[in-house]
Structure 1
Amino acid sequence: MAGRIRADTPIGSCPGCFSWGFSYGSQSYCRACYDFVRRYRSRECEGCDRIIAIKKGYCRLCWLQAGLTATGGRRLALEDFKPAGCWQLSLAGMNRLGNTGPAPQISAAEPALILDPAIGTQLELRAPGESRHFDARHWVAATIVNDALSQTRRIAAELAETRGWNSRIVIETGRALAVVLADHQAGDLIAWSGLSATLHSRDLSVTRTAQILDLAGLLDDDRISSFAALRRERLQLLPSPMAADVEHWLLTRSKGGPRSRPRNEHTVRMNLNRVHPLLLDWAGQDYLHLREVTATDVVAATEFLPSTRRRQTLTALRSLFGHCKKTGRIFRDPTRGVHDGQRPLILIQPLRPEEIDQATAAALTPAARLALALAAVHAARPKTIRELHLDDVDLGNRRLTLTGRARPLDDLTRTLLLAWLQHRSLRWPGTANPHLIINQQTAMATRAVSENWLTESCRGLTATLEALRVDRQLEEALTHNGDPLHLAAVFGIDDTTAIRYATIARQLLETTAEQHDPAGSREPKGQNGP
């Protein structure tokens, strides 16, 4: 029962919890164990001694057994995880980790519903969870019909045809639309915030359902981004006049404005993280407006910061006060004339051969090997690799387009590229995703894979994809004696980056030459005696 089945077998025994049913992924896990393995790292389980994904020291099977041991609806305790020597087997999808707290109070029993055998009624084997708007005892998704549901079903059918959805996704999407639109009235909008509670308990996709509702004009996207919540929380700690100026600056940085392009949310978040402690200190000194801050305050607040933190903080402060000066909110920019000093040159060292060998050995899949070659040979960033499209590859002319720049396709990359394309066509023959590298989640969509998935094989190693990219550019600089013009032409990097790599390469070459220069040796000159 615990034996591992072939990856292409749809039904079998889960190697994680030993349940019998439909399998997911290349290792034939049940759906619950498939999500569990993706979320937690593999280590030795303290209960069954298996090397498997564990949560707080125990695998999912031991958690399920502990839930059976904890009688009376009480919370799990440490003694519940003691090895029992045997396991309770089950069907896939019939066991859950949750609901280990006190059992909910059950209301008074309702009168039993007596069905007349003469009435033809299609009964349904009830799945875990309660229906949202209708009686679960008589629920059949295909029998629910209304105008909104018919419209969304047509859109779902078009997406399924163009994106190559498999039969499971088509069925699950139909169920999700029936649950959400069962009692929809004309003119009603479905709030995004209400989809999670409705669909997650049924293991249905919220994102895919929301996309279809949006295309049908039935979605009310009421989500609040994490950065907006963080901004509101931190601005409440500042005086109102100061908070208004900072909020206007952050909104302009995020969304853009007159003669100002929008910045990445990560950049704006880091700007806020750097200036907020200083703003709190100035607010503690009874400053109500940013116009009260002087150059002396800026110097005093930043002079004892580490060099990198000081440079980032001054950059954010210059952006803040420069924006306020331009919009007429302050009279004088207090950061004008405050210098952050010369940026220290970090001497990058080339990767050792054994470190590169470790990364090569860890790349076990065709996608991981291709990503490794693109980083190590073509110096492509992980973001660039994720966003590569099929149209960027020209096998006939042996050309590869990276960030708009065509590069020659070497033999190694071409071999790995052909291997990946063959695997891609066999694994997902009907996908409409235009990206070169896809996985099981993105094959049924059009988005790129996540950076977390792409860099998984190199995680924890010295030679990560980013380190391999840097090492490739440094190797090119060392080979051509630190020529910045050559680096800018080959990799398409800006002048400042090319000069920095060239300077590092020249210093490494000079250091190597000094180590091998006999003039610098302390050995006596001339012929040595016997």
Structure 2
Amino acid sequence: MRLGEDEQWMWAEIRREYLPPGRPRQLAVVVPDVKLPPANPLRAHDRPTTREPVPEWVRKLSPPRPQDDPVLFPRQVDGQLGLFPPPRRTLVTADAGRIRDRPIPQLDLVDAQLADIARERKVGGAWLNLTRSLARLALAAREPGQRQVLPQTLDDLPSMSPTIAEALRRVGLLADARSRVVPGSGVVHGSCTRCLAWANDRRQVCVACRQFARFHPGSGECERCRSVQPLAEGLCRFCTVLQTQAVTDFDGIALEGGDQLWFGAGFAPKLRTTDARYPPRTRRKGRFVAKKRLVKAAARAARSISDHLIDPAQTALFEAPARDWASLGESDLPAPTPEAEAVMAEFARYIRSRGWNPDHQRSSTRILRILVSWLGVRAPIREIDIQAVALLSSNHTGARVTDFLRRRELLIAEEKTSADLLRARDTAASLPESYAAAVNTWIDVLTGQGSKPSRPIAPTTIYNYVSFAAPILRDFSAQGITDLRQVTKEIIEAALKPLSRPHARSVHTGLRSLFRALRREGLIFRDPARTISLTIARHKPVPLPTDRLKGILDNAPDARSRLVIALVAIHALMPGEITSLHLDDLDRAQGRLRVRRKSRPDHLVYLDEMTLELARSWAAERFRRWPRTPNPHLFINRETAVNGEAPVSRMIIRTSLKGTGLQAGKLRQDRILDEAHEGADPVRLMRVFGISAITAMKYVSTAHPADIRPDPIAP
């Protein structure tokens, strides 16, 4: 690491060279709370073809190099007459940079006129820089001793030739128009010998055949006419045009035993043409493209209705898996029924009513067209089929189609399965056969599907329980225990003894839940883990330093992040409570917020003035970005705005606190602990933050340890 400017190393980096080893290096001393300057390389060694921008300090050390390419418009002696007329040039805008340092007479006069034109037209600096570059090219293209610019020279410019002509005309540097002198070598006598077109211009090879040979180099024998010419897929240009014109004979030009010839020049088949069969103001397309469109339209009109339309009156024999849509192409879709066409038209109106750009929703329209063309709309469409079509490519999006069909009651929703629950089932299946059934019964009880009704717990908690208990159950099987009824208290204590205290606590919690569920279902007679107790260290809440809390709202990137931080830092809401908030839960008139909680009464939060103002700002931005979203949640993003029910993930809490270096749990603990310091009343904490009595006593005992007496019956 080097601190400072090393010119030898700098030039080696720019020229992509490597310095010999053994050069002295300056070490940097790391001092706490002192930030070192950035030390970024000038080039990416793992990307040798990448071109990095040169830093400003390197540009100052690099000597300026004048730009005057002698190849472009070479200097000539004034008064010298040219032997041959200048050919037509093909200039590009970048050519002006090649002669940017060449002194050009009268350029300052033209630049002044271009500045006046820019002020008249009220255009910016980019337009002025472009026109000045083109004016430099026009003035540099003058012949020796010539003061004015010929009008045909402006035709060689890539763009802006009328503007350059106006600026030259104002300063008297534009010559009178006259015909361009064409070199005699440019005219070749004869007719086109390849496509047999009669152009009446005495050219042996027409321009179209020259272009064809340019894009298809090399010659060979044509498969159709047996002539030796440049080929494209085995055919010369003459045969390619004939077959393209006669593939669908709309114009009646196909001949039996002969070929249709055509006139050349302005009457020859061109790539751009008009067609009366297209509606007015339709963009012009090539004749061959128009022909292909007509062929597709004729094939589309001849399509038949799908043989796989779903009949709602037909009873299903069994539940079929997801269909394989990868083998079906969009070019051979069956004809849609009138009901399907009506649904497609309604979907287009639905897109416009939501304020979306129809051109940006073609991926959604493509999915709906595939589904209704093959399956129809008389019966609901399964959500699993929408997901299968959406997986075909990135040009297929199914979120808006799912929401639209759900609103029209044409959707068979797919049952949501948690990934954590599936992993828990897989872990149970990997256990020995004597334990697998018992663990699956345990999972059924935890999900509320046991013989007795119970409140289900979170799938993440279920997976944690199973993952902690599975290794112990495998050890039991290795010891020869084939039935969980053989497990005793001593066996569990022996299994927990070699484990660390935190790990033993997690394993004990899982085993205690397992044996409690099995005893409840009548699979075992007693619970061996019930009387086992472990000594654990309970961590008390710790306040955060004041300097870490200062300015956290100012560092938030947007209105949503500021409101999330306020709800955590001021009102101590948990991430799950924030993501489940609905827009109707916010009562801005009375300054209240209702927090929804599962299996518990809702908690009412009274918002302070700052939080209420942040809520107003986010509500205004939410309406501005998604004015017609059907999602009822307070916090939404680009993905959930098109879904009628899904909440955002808890990742928005991390995103909101990303720049602060704080965690939501630590910030919530600091807020409750700060309130507990104001008074030793646990009931007040329960009312303000909606926490339980045990949690409130934990914070009160931490804030006022001298006022809390130990519980005489506590273990």
TM tier relative to shorter chain: 0.5 to 0.7
State the alpha-carbon separation in 1 of the partners of residues 412 and 564 from structure 2: 37
Q: Give the one of 604, 623, 628 matched to 1:425.
A: 623
The equivalent residue for 1:464 is: 663
- Aligned 8 A contact 2:386 2:398 in 1: no
The equivalent residue for 2:337 is: 146
Which amino acid in structure 2 is aligned with residue 470 of structure 1? Answer: Q
The equivalent residue for 1:366 is: 559
The equivalent residue for 1:98 is: none
Q: Give the one of 672, 691, 694 matched to 1:473.
A: 672
Report the 3-state secondary structure (helix = DSSP H, G, I; strand = E; otherwise coil) of the residue aligned with 1:367.
Answer: helix
State the alpha-carbon separation in 1 of the partners of residues 422 and 619 from structure 2: 42
- Aligned 8 A contact 1:359 1:463 in 2: no
State the alpha-carbon separation in 2 of the partners of residues 440 and 465 from structure 1: 23
Residue 317 to residue 469, structure 1, CA distance change in 2 (3 Å):
same
Q: Give the one of 51, 65, 83 matched to 1:85.
A: 51
TM, length-normalised to structure 2: 0.50
Deviation at 1:463, TM superposition (A): 2.2
Which amino acid in structure 2 is aligned with residue 316 of structure 1? Answer: G
Equivalent residues, number: 406
Deviation at 1:347, TM superposition (A): 2.6
Report the 3-state secondary structure (helix = DSSP H, G, I; strand = E; otherwise coil) of the residue aligned with 1:133.
Answer: coil
The equivalent residue for 1:325 is: 519
* Structure 1, unaligned runs of 5 or more: 1-42, 50-56, 58-77, 88-108, 124-129, 511-530
State the alpha-carbon separation in 2 of the partners of residues 44 and 430 from structure 1: 48
Residue 502 to residue 434, structure 1, CA distance change in 2 (3 Å):
same
Deviation at 1:47, TM superposition (A): 9.6
State the alpha-carbon separation in 2 of the partners of residues 44 and 146 from structure 1: 66
State the alpha-carbon separation in 1 of the partners of residues 339 and 499 from structure 2: 58
Deviation at 1:193, TM superposition (A): 7.2
Residue 391 to residue 234, structure 1, CA distance change in 2 (3 Å):
closer
Corresponding position: 1:493 with 2:691: yes
Deviation at 1:210, TM superposition (A): 4.7
Q: Deviations over 1:150-178 (max 9, x none)?
A: 58647856865786655356543221112
Which amino acid in structure 2 is aligned with residue 451 of structure 1? Answer: R
State the alpha-carbon separation in 2 of the partners of residues 338 and 410 from structure 1: 47
Deviation at 1:375, TM superposition (A): 1.0
Corresponding position: 1:382 with 2:575: yes
Q: Deviations over 1:370-389 (max 9, x none)?
A: 11111111111122222222
The equivalent residue for 1:116 is: 248
Corresponding position: 1:133 with 2:332: no
Q: Give the one of 687, 703, 706 matched to 1:505.
A: 703
Report the 3-state secondary structure (helix = DSSP H, G, I; strand = E; otherwise coil) of the residue aligned with 1:359.
Answer: coil
Corresponding position: 1:242 with 2:435: yes
Which amino acid in structure 2 is aligned with residue 433 of structure 1? Answer: N
Report the 3-state secondary structure (helix = DSSP H, G, I; strand = E; otherwise coil) of the residue aligned with 2:426.
Answer: helix
Deviation at 1:322, TM superposition (A): 1.4
The equivalent residue for 1:405 is: 603
Residue 330 to residue 188, structure 1, CA distance change in 2 (3 Å):
same
Report the 3-state secondary structure (helix = DSSP H, G, I; strand = E; otherwise coil) of the residue aligned with 2:375.
Answer: coil
Q: Deviations over 1:226-245 (max 9, x none)?
A: 34542343233322231111
Q: Give the one of 230, 236, 259 matched to 2:423.
A: 230
The equivalent residue for 1:416 is: 614
The equivalent residue for 2:396 is: 204
Corresponding position: 1:301 with 2:492: no
Report the 3-state secondary structure (helix = DSSP H, G, I; strand = E; otherwise coil) of the residue aligned with 1:351.
Answer: coil
Corresponding position: 1:179 with 2:370: yes
The equivalent residue for 1:103 is: none
- Aligned 8 A contact 2:653 2:664 in 1: no
Which moved further from structure 2: 466-475 or 146-155?
146-155
Q: Deviations over 1:95-124 (max 9, x none)?
A: xxxxxxxxxxxxxx9x9997325273248x
Q: Which has the higher contact order (CA 8 A, sep 6+)?
A: 1
Residue 444 to residue 315, structure 1, CA distance change in 2 (3 Å):
same
- Aligned 8 A contact 1:155 1:212 in 2: no
Which amino acid in structure 2 is aligned with residue 468 of structure 1? Answer: L
Q: Deviations over 1:258-301 (max 9, x none)?
A: 13221111111111111111011111112221112111111111
Report the 3-state secondary structure (helix = DSSP H, G, I; strand = E; otherwise coil) of the residue aligned with 1:401.
Answer: strand
- Aligned 8 A contact 1:389 1:434 in 2: yes
State the alpha-carbon separation in 2 of the partners of residues 493 and 198 from structure 1: 44
The equivalent residue for 2:9 is: none
Which amino acid in structure 2 is aligned with residue 384 of structure 1? Answer: E
State the alpha-carbon separation in 2 of the partners of residues 464 and 315 from structure 1: 26
Residue 408 to residue 210, structure 1, CA distance change in 2 (3 Å):
closer
Q: Deviations over 1:162-214 (max 9, x none)?
A: 86655356543221112344433787965727834654513322444455566
- Aligned 8 A contact 1:438 1:449 in 2: yes
State the alpha-carbon separation in 2 of the partners of residues 45 and 176 from structure 1: 47
Corresponding position: 1:313 with 2:507: yes
Q: Deviations over 1:461-507 (max 9, x none)?
A: 44233322221111001121x32122112111101111111111124
Deviation at 1:349, TM superposition (A): 1.9
State the alpha-carbon separation in 1 of the partners of residues 345 and 39 from structure 2: 48
State the alpha-carbon separation in 1 of the partners of residues 587 and 411 from structure 2: 41
Which amino acid in structure 2 is aligned with residue 183 of structure 1? Answer: W
State the alpha-carbon separation in 1 of the partners of residues 39 and 538 from structure 2: 43
Residue 229 to residue 383, structure 1, CA distance change in 2 (3 Å):
closer
Residue 327 to residue 489, structure 1, CA distance change in 2 (3 Å):
same
Residue 246 to residue 486, structure 1, CA distance change in 2 (3 Å):
same
Residue 84 to residue 375, structure 1, CA distance change in 2 (3 Å):
closer
The equivalent residue for 1:443 is: 641
Which amino acid in structure 2 is aligned with residue 178 of structure 1? Answer: R
TM, length-normalised to structure 1: 0.66
Report the 3-state secondary structure (helix = DSSP H, G, I; strand = E; otherwise coil) of the residue aligned with 1:202.
Answer: coil
- Superposed structure 1 runs of 4+ greater than 6 Å apart: 43-49, 111-114, 185-189
Residue 451 to residue 164, structure 1, CA distance change in 2 (3 Å):
farther
Which amino acid in structure 2 is aligned with residue 497 of structure 1? Answer: T
State the alpha-carbon separation in 1 of the partners of residues 430 and 356 from structure 2: 49
Deviation at 1:444, TM superposition (A): 2.4
State the alpha-carbon separation in 2 of the partners of residues 241 and 373 from structure 1: 52
Deviation at 1:367, TM superposition (A): 0.6
Q: Deviations over 1:493-525 (max 9, x none)?
A: 101111111111124999xxxxxxxxxxxxxxx
Higher helix share: 1
* Structure 2, unaligned runs of 5 or more: 1-37, 54-232, 251-290, 298-324, 597-601, 709-715
In our comparison, the structure showing a higher alpha carbon Rg is 2
Residue 156 to residue 194, structure 1, CA distance change in 2 (3 Å):
closer
The equivalent residue for 1:336 is: 530
State the alpha-carbon separation in 2 of the partners of residues 463 and 509 from structure 1: 31
Corresponding position: 1:268 with 2:459: no
Residue 310 to residue 156, structure 1, CA distance change in 2 (3 Å):
farther
